[in-house]
Each structure stands twice: as C-alpha cells, then as structure tokens.
Amino acid sequence: MFRQTKAVLQKLRYLSFNGQQHTWKQKSTSARKRAVQYQPGQKIHGFTVKEVVAVPDLFLTAVKLTHDKTGAQYLHAARDDSNNLFSVQFRTTPMDSTGVPHILEHTVLCGSEKYPCRDPFFKMLNRSLSTFMNAFTASDYTMYPFSTQNGKDFQNLLSVYLDAVFFPCLREQDFWQEGWRLENEDPTDPNSPLVFKGVVFNEMKGAFSDNERVYAQHLQNKLYPDHTYSVVSGGEPLAIPDLTWEQLRQFHATHYHPSNARFFTYGDLPLEQHLKQIEEEALSKFERINPNTEVPSQPHWSSPREDHVTCSPDALAPDPARQNTLCVSYLLGDITDTFEGFTLSLLSSLMISGPNSAFYKALIEPKIGSDFSSVVGYDGSTKEASFSIGLQGMAEEDTEKVKQIISQTINHIIEDGFEEEQIEALLHKIEIQMKHQSTNFGLSLASYIASSWNHDGDPVELLRISDSVAKFRQALKENPRFLQDKVKHYFKENTHRLTLSMSPDEAYLEKQAKAEEEKLQKKIQALSDRDRKEIYEKGLELLAAQSKTQDASCLPALKISDIEPTIPITPVQISTAGGVPAQYCEQPTNGLVYFRAMCSLNTLPEDLVLYVPLFCSVITKMGCGALDYRQQAQQMDLRTGGMSVSPQVIPDSTHLDMYEQGVLLSSSCLERNLPHMFQLWSDIFNSPHFEEVERLRVLVMMSAQELANGISYSGHMYAMTRAGRYLTPAGHLQESFGGMEQVKFMKRIAEMSDLSQVIRTLPRIKRHLLNSDNMRCAINATPQKMSDTAAQLESFMKQITGNRKERKPVRVNIVERPIDPLDDSGPSRKLVSELNFQPCQMKTFFQLPFPVNFVSESIRTVPFSHEDYASLCILARMMTAKFLHGEIREKGGAYGGGARMGGGLFSFYSYRDPNSMQTLSAFRKGIDWAKSGQFTQQDIDEAKLSVFSAVDSPVAPADKGMGRFLSGVTDEMKQSHRERLFAVSHKNLVEVAERYLSVGQKTCGVAILGPENETIAKDPSWIVK
C-alpha cells in the first residue's frame, strides 16, 4: 500500500472519527498507572528508559526508551485500551522514482528466515484475530503496524513482523511478483507478446489514474526539488522497470536496520514483554550503524516559481470545460518544531475550513471552481511543512483571477485577522477530538507522531496537545496580531512558493500508453533469444510457485478455541420519548453525548428517491432558524462535535425482499452543550433555509466533484453496488442512493443552469421526515448523564413532532417489526416489503478513463437469519484467501480481489485490475474450486478466525448498540449467528457452493468499470453505459 499523509489537524481527526467498533474494558489494574512507575535511566531488556510522561488528556502514559546497542528508538503509550498496537517505522529516503521503498515494503512481506513460506503476511490475516494489519510507504518513511485485542496473538504477529522487516528472504521471485517483470502475456504460451507485470507496477498505474493523486505528487516533487521529495517514493510506473533486484536488497540493508528504526507500542499489555521479545528476536542480532538517512532542509528560493502539468480528461467531471486545477503552495518551517506546527495547522483551518473561513468565502463561494484543489491546507508529512491553497474544476481563463484572489485574501487576513469566536470554535473542536474515543486510537497515534518523529522531533511533546493549546492562548494574549504576523511571514513574504496549474490533455492516456510501449520495446529489443527463453521459463516457474499448495505450518496461529464462545451483551433500554421510540445505551463516553435518529422514508414518492443523498448532504449546511449558513456552521463548531445526515438502506435480516429506507441523523456534543445541539436540530427541521440557490449550487458542485473523484478509489464498491442492482429491492435502492446511478444524477444536477426545480424537491423530502410515526432515536451517554439527557430528548421530540399530520405511505406494502423482539406490543420499525420483486440477470459495463478495471459479480443468496448465511460468510472468506487472492492478485496482477457476503448477496470483486474477462472466469473457477471440496479443515479454521476477527472487532462507546438500533439485530441474534459460524463444516461449505453459487442456481448480476473493452463491445449481452 502507498499513501501520502495529510495535515496534522486532518490526522488529528483520525484520532476520532474513524469510529467502527470497539470494546473498552475498564480494568482494575490500570496500564497507565503501572507505566508511570518506570524511572529514567532504568535498564530493561537491552533498552534504557529516557523519559516517562503522563498525558492525562489522552488518558495515557508515554515511556520513551532507546536501545543501547543499536540506538533504535522506542515509544510506548500505556493506555487502558485492549486494542493493542505495534508499529515499526524506518526512515526511507529514495533518490529515484523506481519505487524502491514501496516494492521493498511489499517484498519483505513475502517470506522471512523463520517464516520462509510464501506470503506470511497475508497468511497471518487468517491465523490471527488482528483488528488491523497493514504496511504503508510514505514519502520518507515506511511503516508496519498491526493491532489486536488478544495477548497471544500480539506475540505471534510481533514475531512475524519482526522477522519480516529484519530478516526477509527477498527472493528474486518475490521481486518479480511484487515489483515488476517482463513476462509473456499468457505465461504458458512462449509466443504470446511480452508485457510488464507486477503488483506495485499495476498498483501505481492505478494510483496515477487518479488526477488528484497526480496533482499532489507533482506538487510535492516540485516544491521540494532538491532531495528525496523530488522523487516518487511509491514508484513512477515507467521508472519502476529500471529497478534491479540487487538495488532492492541494497536498499534493505541500509534502511531496514535497528539504527534507522522507530518502534511504537500502545495499549494495556505490559511493556517489558514487548521489549524482551523485540530484543531477543531481532535487535540483539545487530550492531549499530550510521544509516545516514537524514533529509536536509530544502534550500529556500529567492523568488516564487510557476509550473504546469497535464492530466487525463475526466469523463465524469461536472463541467467538461472546467477541469483545470491551480494552487499556490508555500514552504513552511520544520515540522519538528511542535508548537510552530500546531500553530500553523490551526492557522490553516482558520483560513480554509468551513463557510466562515476567508478562503472559502473568496474562492469557493464565487463558484470559480468546483472545490478546493485536492491538496489544500497545512501538510506536515514532509520534513518542512507546506501550505497549499487553490481550486479544482475551474476554467483555464480564470487562472489569473484565482492567483489574484489568493494574494488579495492573504492581504485581507493580515489586515483583519480572525474573529475570536472562530478561534474558539476551533479549540472546541480539538477538545472534542481528544475526548472522543475511537476504536483505532493506537493506530491514529502512530500515524499522528510518525512524520515528526521520523525527523527526530519529540513524539511525546506532540502528544501533549493541551500544552500546545495553552501556549497558543498565551501567545494570542500577548500579541493580538500573533496569527496575522504568521500569515505575513509565511505567506506574504515567503518567496519559496510554487504556483502549479494542471489541465486535461485529450491525448494524455494515449501518450502514456505510448511511453509505456516504448519502454517495453526498449527492454524487449535488448533481449537475446536466451533471455527470452529465460523469461518464459521464469514465468512458468512463478506460475508453478503460485499454483502450488502452500505449507504455512511454520507460522504461528491462534486456534478456534482461542475465540470467545459468546459475545459480550450490550445492555440497552428501550422506551419512548415524546411518543417516539428511544434506545438508551450507557457507555463510558468521556463526557460526550451521542444522539442519533433514524427517520424512515416509506412514504416518499418514487420521483424523490434520487434526491435523498443530495438532501442529506445539504440539510445541515444551508442555514436554519435565525442563523444564516455561516452562523449555523459556527454554532455547530462551537457547540457540537458534528451534525450530519446520511441516507440509509437497511436490508431486513429475515427476508431478502424487505428493507427499510430512510435517513439517519448523527451528532455528538459535550454534555454541557446538549440543549444547544437539540436547538440546532429543531431549527434545522422546523425552519431550514432552502431558498438560497447560490448556496445550494456551491454544495452541489462540491458533492458532484467529490463523487467523481471517488470512483478511481472505490471503484470496486461501485461495481459491487451495480452488480447487486437487479437482485434485491434493497440493492436497487442502494444503487440509487450510492451507486453509479447517483454519480451520474449528481453530475446532471451540477450541470443544470437553473436549480430552482431541485430546490423545490428539498422541502418535499423534508415533509416526509420527523413524523413520530416513522422515527426512532438513540442516545449513548454516561450513566450519570442519562436521565437528564432523556428528559431533554423528551422535550425536543415534543417540539419537533408536535404538529405533524400522519402521512399515508405511498407503498401499501409496509410490514411492522417490534423494536424489542420480546415485546410485540411495544414500538415497531416499519419495513417495505416487495414480495413480488423479480430479480433479473444483468451485465453492465461502464467505460471510464482508467487504465485498470473494477470487476464484480453478485449472486442473490439468503438473508442474515437464514441457516446457510454463516456458511456463505465462511465460504466467501475462504475462497478469498485460498483461491481468489492467488488468481486475481498473484497471477492476475490486480491490486486486490475476493468475495464477501452482505445484504443477502454473495459478491465477488477485483480492485485495480488489469484484466476483466479473465477475472470473471477466475470468479467461476473459485466456485468450481469450492464445489470440488479441495480444501482442508485448516483452511476452514483459518477462514473462521478471519471472519471472527471482523465480527469481534472493537466497537467504540459511541457506537455500542447501533447495529441493533439500525437493523434490529439483537445480541441474541448475533449469538446464534456466532454459534452457526462455529459449527460450519466442510460439508456445509460444499453444499452452499452448490446450492447458491452454481450456474443457474440463483440469479446473478455482473458489473465492470474500466477502459474501453473490445470483448464487451462485441458481446450484445452487455449493457454499455
């Protein structure tokens, strides 16, 4: 994987909002209290303690150590969180664009001394209960993190990770597979043409099919032209074939050394055990070296620069005539200066975030472009930070105007400064982010400190966020022009700035293809007959190695008996508030209150369905009551942790042709602000401002742009959604709400010159919401705050639902389900039932300007409560690990591929795939493989572990009880599903493969997103879009 890290504040956001699932155990012996007892100077297993710091805001104790013999650095964050994390990062500073750090990141995971089997990393996914496993290549470091809630699993994974990074095999064959190789298109046919293959080669071709990514890469390369940031650490597709296996091994020897390593551990497991294992299994075998990987400061330019690049035209862009990007990027100070970095990232938010910021007013609202440029704001991922500001989706002739606006806006900021309330809103946001508990807190911390620590900044100082907040307040008090002076210094007077524009070139893809062809021909011409023969033989060898049944017995593994047999029960209380069903869930939320409401839309006329996502994205952003949209945004920032509305399609757990449709309101706030938050919600629904066309246009443009940009990143999701469209009524609605149909619809709206018809639909949708008849709500809060919250909820509900008439559903087929399954007479959920729904077979192809495909096939199977559901879940996982991964990724060269079960559909998918038809036949072969029963009990157990690690992944206090609230799946139902998962046998798997997946058994749908495709064009059974 390859990524570019974003600004500090954006990273800080990941400390909170990636809430999925988590268990927060309140333990009697507190990990952080134990850790406070370490003493500086204390020696532990070859390490010396350097510093011990309590960080009460984040509820942790930080222990900093150094390894005596090698100089390896170590940071432990002791926190009473069972989702323990390990990560090791190396400073990797390439000086060319061959992608050497990225290819190395992949190849070290292909087998090591102690674990010489192929691909131990992917195999461990099935032998562990990990909650996260991955590896990242950033611009100047490579990081290997994992997390798990199980102590034994932690030791197993640590052993595999340590051996992988310090003692990898780095076989030539791994390099071919993961990096690049020349190979016959059909490896079994020596006469088929030679082509480039390789996982990273294809991954980077895919990555560079994303224009936002292309722009970000150019911008960094050109702003820091003198050292490692001037090259592409992930690999420039055409430079990748210049890398040799020898260079790869050399890079490993010099960079993956303890003297160039930083270790980070997090959670409630004891530190000593980690240190002992790391010392014994890795560090004791090394001597200190001088890795010489420091990044020098970028010499400052004496005058600003301008540059221009091209990209491929975007077929989905809202306005084809407006596809230019322009942005100005400024070189800032060293990121190891923690307070300066903190100040600049706050400053950046004040300048660009939300409708009250100067740049939003100056650049977004005049609608010169569709949105800010993909790179915007503070970026602290390089040794010296940068700040960028500009637009995408603009016309070429507006270039000068945009440049002028940027410099004028900077002048205005220097003159006028910022409103105090705006600064307070931002500091309030930081307070909330520190209190909100996420499930991947360890990972967020690791990524939050990675860049600064990589350049020898102090990671502990970085964690003491409230110290920085206090210092910031003090600085403002001492000098009211503190921020304005910074703007003057870093922006107005800064000559190290780059203005980079990007415009589409019709021939872009063609030129790229031509360049690749030339590169290929050059390589081919240099080959002797002997070389060609060797290539053919190596291709066969690789194929044979990939096809061989693999022995993974050298790897450690958890056993099925290590899995908890029962799930912990989440107690919820169900009653009513103001006549509306309410679910209360007491949780340790650190003084935050989470309020959600589900409003079903069963009465919504058909012609409004496509407008629902748009309605959701604008309803909290147009102003309400006495507040215009700017004031509303300010109030939300000042008083809440965010308020949002999202469309929902919830398939029924018992019947494939039943579902619930609606919208979900989600919000959180500090306890003291609850009345303010309810007031905002009630204003939003009682008196929303829908009339401002210009405001709506800005929001529409931004959503359309975001959707269009998202396809190259989530193409497999779009392909799967489309493949499921004609299979169930819920699948049909899903496509309308979040599939390609919605993308195209938004593009059409963005192109309309007159939005008045759109505006008229918004109040029509609103009228169907907030009827006490089709609404339910949920509160998660601390036990102490619950009764007060319930009382406030009661009066809020009375206020908003008081004078509403009941509406007749336009769909007559509404079925009621009790919210509490044990209480039939209590409140109910209302589902749409389409028992006459006829699933049908459909193959759809979307031709898009990408060099890679996203392929999906979906099969209608059974709902959650059906006895075969568990077998299908295990089967999907097992097919992915034991068959599809090999066919689609290893042999096919796609970035990823597999199968999954959800919403009653069994879906195959591939991600960034050079193939299309071949992948469809790999799906079919996977089914034959499953039916043949050629898998072992070990394979089944591994699939079970993998499924359980997802089922048991942690749930944050904010999200406890939400599954039950939304889909009515109770803990008892989950427990019986769990028991069925445990019980799945070899026989069950073969049976479900035959019963559901065999050709002709059940209806299936196929969808492909990808470049022009001759086979499909000739085949009339495809619908081409």
φ, ψ (nearest 5 deg) of residue 215:
-65, -45
Closest approach of Zn ion to the CB of residue 108, in Å:
12
Quick note: the x/- pattern for Zn ion over 474-513, rule CB under 5 A, is ----------------------------------------
> What residues form DSSP beta bridges with 670?
592
Closest approach of Zn ion to the CB of residue 103, in Å:
8
Cα separation, 704 vs 701, whole angstroms? 5
Closest approach of Zn ion to the CB of residue 99, in Å:
9
**Closest CB to Zn ion among 142 and 635?**
142
E-only strand ranges, 312-346: 324-334
Span 192-221, contacts to Zn ion by CB under 5 A: 203
**What is the 8-class DSSP label of residue 427?**
H
**Closest CB to Zn ion among 140 and 203?**
203
Closest approach of Zn ion to the CB of residue 132, in Å:
16
Buried b (16+ CB within 10 A) or exposed e, 627-654: bbbbbbbbbbbbbbbbbebebbbbbbbe
**Closest CB to Zn ion among 135 and 643?**
135
Buried b (16+ CB within 10 A) or exposed e, 359-380: bbebbbeeebbbbbbbbbbbbb
H helix intervals, 167-210: 172-178, 199-207
Alpha carbon separation from 89 to 165, 296, 1024 (Å, rounded): 10, 19, 46
Cα separation, 761 vs 759, whole angstroms? 5
Instruction: Give the total of residues touching Zn ion (CB under 5 A).
Output: 3
Closest approach of Zn ion to the CB of residue 448, in Å:
22
**Closest CB to Zn ion among 504 and 896?**
896
Closest approach of Zn ion to the CB of residue 168, in Å:
16
Question: CA angle, 235 as apex, 234 and 241 as ends, to 5°?
Answer: 150
**Closest CB to Zn ion among 207 and 610?**
207
Closest approach of Zn ion to the CB of residue 235, in Å:
9
Question: CA angle, 1010 as apex, 1006 and 1015 as ends, to 5°?
Answer: 70
Cα separation, 244 vs 242, whole angstroms? 7
Closest approach of Zn ion to the CB of residue 106, in Å:
6
Residues 6 or more apart in contact with residue 610 via CB below 8 angstroms: 736, 741, 742, 745
**Closest CB to Zn ion among 234 and 369?**
234
Examine residue 110 and tell whether it contacts Zn ion (CB under 5 A): no
**Closest CB to Zn ion among 203 and 586?**
203
**Closest CB to Zn ion among 203 and 741?**
203
**Closest CB to Zn ion among 1 and 569?**
1
Our answer to whether residue 384 is catalytic in this structure is no
Stretch that binds Zn ion, among 2-10, 16-24, 773-781, 906-914 (CB under 5 A): 2-10
Residues 6 or more apart in contact with residue 639 via CB below 8 angstroms: 428, 669, 673, 676, 677, 680
Angle between helices 740-751 and 693-723 (to 10 degrees): 160
**Closest CB to Zn ion among 604 and 852?**
852
Question: CA angle, 891 as apex, 889 and 896 as ends, to 5°?
Answer: 5
Closest approach of Zn ion to the CB of residue 544, in Å:
25
Examine residue 1 and tell whether it contacts Zn ion (CB under 5 A): yes
**Closest CB to Zn ion among 194 and 238?**
238
Cβ proximity of 66 and 74 under 8 Å = yes
**What is the 8-class DSSP label of residue 627?**
B
Of all residues in the chain, what percent are helix, strand and coil, respectively (each to 5)?
A: 45, 20, 35
Q: How many CB atoms lie within 10 A of CB 319?
A: 16
Cβ proximity of 252 and 104 under 8 Å = yes
Cα separation, 944 vs 942, whole angstroms? 5
* Closest residue by beta carbon to Zn ion: 1
Residue type, position 976, single letter? S
**What is the 8-class DSSP label of residue 56?**
G
Q: Name which of 436, 340, 921 is nearest 666 in CA terms.
A: 436
**Closest CB to Zn ion among 301 and 713?**
713
Alpha carbon separation from 794 to 62, 403, 576, 748 (Å, rounded): 43, 52, 8, 42
Cα separation, 669 vs 636, whole angstroms? 9
Q: Which residue's structure tokens are 């950046």? A: 348
Q: Are strands 261-267 and 73-78 parallel, antiparallel or unpaired?
A: parallel
Quick note: the x/- pattern for Zn ion over 252-291, rule CB under 5 A, is ----------------------------------------
Closest approach of Zn ion to the CB of residue 13, in Å:
24
Examine residue 569 and tell whether it contacts Zn ion (CB under 5 A): no
Alpha carbon separation from 572 to 503, 650, 660, 781, 783 (Å, rounded): 55, 20, 22, 11, 12
Cα separation, 766 vs 755, whole angstroms? 18
H helix intervals, 328-388: 338-352, 358-359
Angle between helices 693-723 and 756-766 (to 10 degrees): 70
**Closest CB to Zn ion among 251 and 266?**
251
Closest approach of Zn ion to the CB of residue 202, in Å:
10
Catalytic residue among 105, 212, 281, 660: 105
Cβ proximity of 443 and 147 under 8 Å = yes
Closest approach of Zn ion to the CB of residue 198, in Å:
11
Closest approach of Zn ion to the CB of residue 185, in Å:
23
Binding site for Zn ion (CB under 5 A): 1-2, 203
Q: Which residues are catalytically annotated?
A: 105
